[in-house]
Structure 1
Amino acid sequence: MVTLELKGLHRVRAKGRVYWYAWRGGPRLKGTPGSPEFLASYNEAVAGRQSTDSGRFRALVALYKASAEYRKLADSTRRNWGPWLDRIADHFGELRIAQFDRPEKIRPVIRRWRATFAEKPRSADYGMQVLSRLLSYAVDPLGRIASNPCEGIKHLYSVSRSEIIWTIQDIARVKMHASIEVQHAIELAACTGLRAGDLVRLSWSHVGEDAIVVTTGKSSHRREAIIPLYQELRDLLARIPRVSTVILTSSKGRPWNKDGLGSSFVKAKKDAWPEGCDLHFHDLRGTAATKFYINGLTEREIAEIMAWEEDNVSRIIRRYVGRSAAIKDRIRRLDTVQSRP
C-alpha cells in the first residue's frame, strides 16, 4: 500500500473505525489510504509542519550546521561541537526562536539547562560556549534575534588558566624526568607558542632565514604563525638533531603524532609531580605569549606570531598572559619613563 511509504503516519482505531493522522499528534488526514485525496492531505500537512518548524530552535541548529561559518571551523572543533549542538537541539528544539529574543524570560531556562551539567562545570561552560555561538549566529548574520541572551551568564568553572603558565623552574623540573626528545618538544612549545598538533608536523622546511612560517591546524590552515628566529629559538633549533624532515621526533627517530607526544609528556609530568600538577602542555602557549609580551612586543606583533585574529588579540592576551607578568611589564615601562633625562 502507498500508506507504507509515507513517513510518520499514525493510525488510531476508535469505535470500530480507523483514522489516519499525518503523525502522532498531527492533523487527521482526509480520504482513504492510497487515494489522491489522502496523499494531497498528507502533503499539505507536511508542508505546513515544515513551514511552522522553520521558526523553531531546532531549525536554527540545522541552519548553523549547514552554514559556511560552521564549515570553516577546525575539524577538531566541529567534532567537539557536533554532540553539543545535538544536545542543544534536543533540549531547546521545540521552543520558538523568537522566545530567545526575550532575555529576561529565556535566561532562567538557559540556566536550568546549564545546571543539568553542574557536576561537571567545565563541561557546562563548554556547552554554554556552543549555545552562545549558536545564538550569536541567530543575531548576525540571520537577524532572527536582537541580542545574545547568553551574555551576562557567568561561567561555573571558576579557575582561570590565564594565571597558569609554565615558569622557568617548572620547565626545568619536568625536563629532569623527560627524554631528550620530549624536552625538545617542551622547549619548542615555550619558544614558539605553537599548539601540539602544529609542533608535531613542524618541518625544517618551515624554518627560514629570519622566521618560522607555518599554517595552523586550528584555522584549517588559513592563517600563518610567523615566529621570528630570536636567539633562544635559534640556539634550541641548533641543538635538535636533524634526523627527519620534521623537527620533533621520537627516540626511534620517527615523527611524533599528537597522542604519542601527549602520553610521553604526561608520564614525565607525573614523574615530576607525583602529588599532581595543574599544568598542561597547552599552557606552554601562555608561557610563550607572556615572554613576547614582557619583552615589549605589540599586540599586533603577538597576533602575527601566534596566528591569532587581530580583532581578538586583547581578549586572548588577557587570557594567556598572567597578571603578574602584566604588572611587571607596567613597572618596566614606568621605570623606563622615569629614567629618561
Structure 2
Amino acid sequence: MVTLELKGLHRVRSKGRVYWYAWRGGPRVLGEPGTPEFVASYNQAIDSVTTPDNSRFRSLVALYKASPDYKKLAHSTRRNWGPWLDRIADHFGELRIAQFDRPERIRPIIRQWRAKYAEKPRTADYGMQVLSRVLSYAVDPLGKIASNPCEGIKQIYNHSDNDRSEIIWTDGDIAHLKKTCSVEIAHAIDLAAHTGLRAGDLLRLSWSHVGEDAIVIPTGKSGRRREAIIPLYQELRDVLARIPKRSPVILTHSKKGPWAPGSLTKAFDTAKEEAWSKGDNLHFHDLRGTAATKFYLAGLTAREIAEIMAWEENTVERIIRRYVGRGAAIKEKIRRLNEVRSRT
C-alpha cells in the first residue's frame, strides 16, 4: 500500500472495503490512495474549509486587509487595527454579508458587540471605527452593500469630558519646564512648539529636511503621502541654531544618538513630573496647538496652516478650533476687526 502523507486523513473499513475521508467527519476522498485523482479530491476538501465563503462577512475582512486602502495606512495604525480586525472577523465572520444590508436588523447586533467594551468607552468607539472602515470599503469600492450600517450609531465616549481644545503650552509653561529638564528635552519642546510636528515626525526629522526656506518632511500619520512644509521664520531658525549638529537627525539624547520610538515622550513625561510634582494637564501632543496658535496669531489663513501642518483642507477649520485656544482666536478676530476699522 502507498504511504500517505496527507494530513488529517481518516480511514474507515465497511463491508470489506476501505473508504478515505479528508478528516474524521469530513467529506469523502475519491480515487485510489496515491493517485492524482485522490490527491486532487483531498485538496478540494481542504480548500473548501481554508478559502473564505465569499458570501460571509469574514471574506470582507480578508479583502480589506489585502486592499491598497489598508496598506496605505501608517504602520502604527495597521499595528493597532490588526488585532481589531481579527476580533471583528471572529465575532461577525459567519454572518452573511447580505445581513449588513439591512441596517434596522444588523445595528442591534453591532451595538451588542460594542457593549462588550462599554466599560472603556474610547476602546469601544475605536473598535467601531475599525468596523465602520471595513463596512465603508464594502460599500465602495466593493459594492457588496448599499450603505454603512455603522452610520447613525453614536459614539459612547463623551469628548466634552476630556476636551483639550483650549489646552496649549504658553511661553510661561515652557519656561517653567526648562528650569529643570535636560537641554535635549528643551530642544524637543522648542522644535515641537515652533513646527507643530508630531513626536514621531520629530524623531525622524533630519538636517537634510531643512532647506533654504522651509522644512519639508513627509508625515508618518499620512503614511508619508502628505508633506509638512514649515517656513523657516526667524524664531524657528533661532531654535535650529541652538541645536548642535551631532547626528543626521536633529533631535538626539544625552549620549548624542537618535531617540528610540517612544523614548522621547517617556523622557518628557519624567521631566514634566519633576517640574510639576503634583502632575500637570499638559501633554507633549499639546505643543501642536501651541504651534497652530503661533501661526494663527501671525495672520496665516486656515489654508496656509493646513499646508504647514499637513492637515486636510476640508477639515482644517475644525482642527483649528480644536487646537487653537479660544482666547487666542478672539484676540485674532479683534485684531482683524481693528484693521478693517482703521482702513475706513
Could you tell me the TM-score, scaled by structure 1's length?
A: 0.84
- Contact map agreement 2:4 2:34 (CA 8 A) in 1: no
Partner of 1:109: 109
* 2:171 is the alignment partner of 1:168: yes
- Contact map agreement 1:2 1:33 (CA 8 A) in 2: no
* 2:277 is the alignment partner of 1:280: no
Partner of 2:126: 126
The code of the aligned residue for 2:154 comes to K
Report the Cα offset of residue 268 of structure 1.
Answer: 0.9
Partner of 1:82: 82
The code of the aligned residue for 2:165 comes to S
SS, match of residue 262 in structure 2: helix
The code of the aligned residue for 1:228 comes to P
Between the aligned partners of 2:49 and 2:137, the Cα distance in structure 1 is 24
Superposition pairs for residues 125-204 of structure 1, below 5 Å?
Answer: 125-158=125-158, 159-204=162-207
In the TM superposition, what whole-angstrom CA distance separates every residue of 1:66-94 from its partner, at most 9, and x where no partner exists?
11111111111111111111111111111
* 2:211 is the alignment partner of 1:208: yes
Partner of 1:5: 6
The code of the aligned residue for 2:6 comes to E
Equivalent of 1:224, from 227, 240, 243? 227
The code of the aligned residue for 2:211 comes to G
The code of the aligned residue for 1:5 comes to L
Between the aligned partners of 1:20 and 1:67, the Cα distance in structure 2 is 39
Report the Cα offset of residue 223 of structure 1.
Answer: 2.1
Aligned residues: 337
* 2:274 is the alignment partner of 1:271: yes
In the TM superposition, what whole-angstrom CA distance separates every residue of 1:285-320 from its partner, at most 9, and x where no partner exists?
222223323433223212211122334434443443
Partner of 2:91: 91
* 2:330 is the alignment partner of 1:306: no
- Contact map agreement 1:286 1:321 (CA 8 A) in 2: yes
Report the Cα offset of residue 48 of structure 1.
Answer: 6.3
Distance 1:151 1:170, change over 3 A: farther
Gapped runs of 5+ residues in structure 2? none
Distance 1:11 1:270, change over 3 A: farther
SS, match of residue 226 in structure 1: strand
SS, match of residue 5 in structure 1: coil
Between the aligned partners of 1:13 and 1:101, the Cα distance in structure 2 is 48
SS, match of residue 213 in structure 1: strand
Percent of residue pairs bearing the same amino acid type: 71
The code of the aligned residue for 1:155 comes to Q
Between the aligned partners of 1:45 and 1:305, the Cα distance in structure 2 is 57
* 2:299 is the alignment partner of 1:291: no
Between the aligned partners of 1:125 and 1:29, the Cα distance in structure 2 is 46
- Contact map agreement 1:290 1:321 (CA 8 A) in 2: yes
- Contact map agreement 2:100 2:106 (CA 8 A) in 1: yes
In the TM superposition, what whole-angstrom CA distance separates every residue of 1:241-271 from its partner, at most 9, and x where no partner exists?
3333332222233332333312210101112
Between the aligned partners of 2:87 and 2:296, the Cα distance in structure 1 is 40
The code of the aligned residue for 1:214 comes to I
Distance 1:166 1:150, change over 3 A: farther
Between the aligned partners of 2:316 and 2:20, the Cα distance in structure 1 is 60
Distance 1:3 1:286, change over 3 A: farther
Between the aligned partners of 1:22 and 1:94, the Cα distance in structure 2 is 22
Distance 1:35 1:309, change over 3 A: same
Distance 1:48 1:5, change over 3 A: closer
- Contact map agreement 1:29 1:38 (CA 8 A) in 2: no
Could you tell me the TM-score, scaled by structure 2's length?
A: 0.83
Between the aligned partners of 2:267 and 2:51, the Cα distance in structure 1 is 54
Distance 1:48 1:236, change over 3 A: closer
Between the aligned partners of 2:234 and 2:174, the Cα distance in structure 1 is 19
Gapped runs of 5+ residues in structure 1? none
- Contact map agreement 1:3 1:33 (CA 8 A) in 2: no
Partner of 1:259: 262
- Contact map agreement 2:52 2:58 (CA 8 A) in 1: no
Between the aligned partners of 2:13 and 2:325, the Cα distance in structure 1 is 69
Between the aligned partners of 1:332 and 1:146, the Cα distance in structure 2 is 49
Between the aligned partners of 2:267 and 2:197, the Cα distance in structure 1 is 18
Between the aligned partners of 1:18 and 1:120, the Cα distance in structure 2 is 57
The code of the aligned residue for 2:206 comes to S
Report the Cα offset of residue 44 of structure 1.
Answer: 6.3
Report the Cα offset of residue 216 of structure 1.
Answer: 1.8
- Contact map agreement 2:22 2:29 (CA 8 A) in 1: no
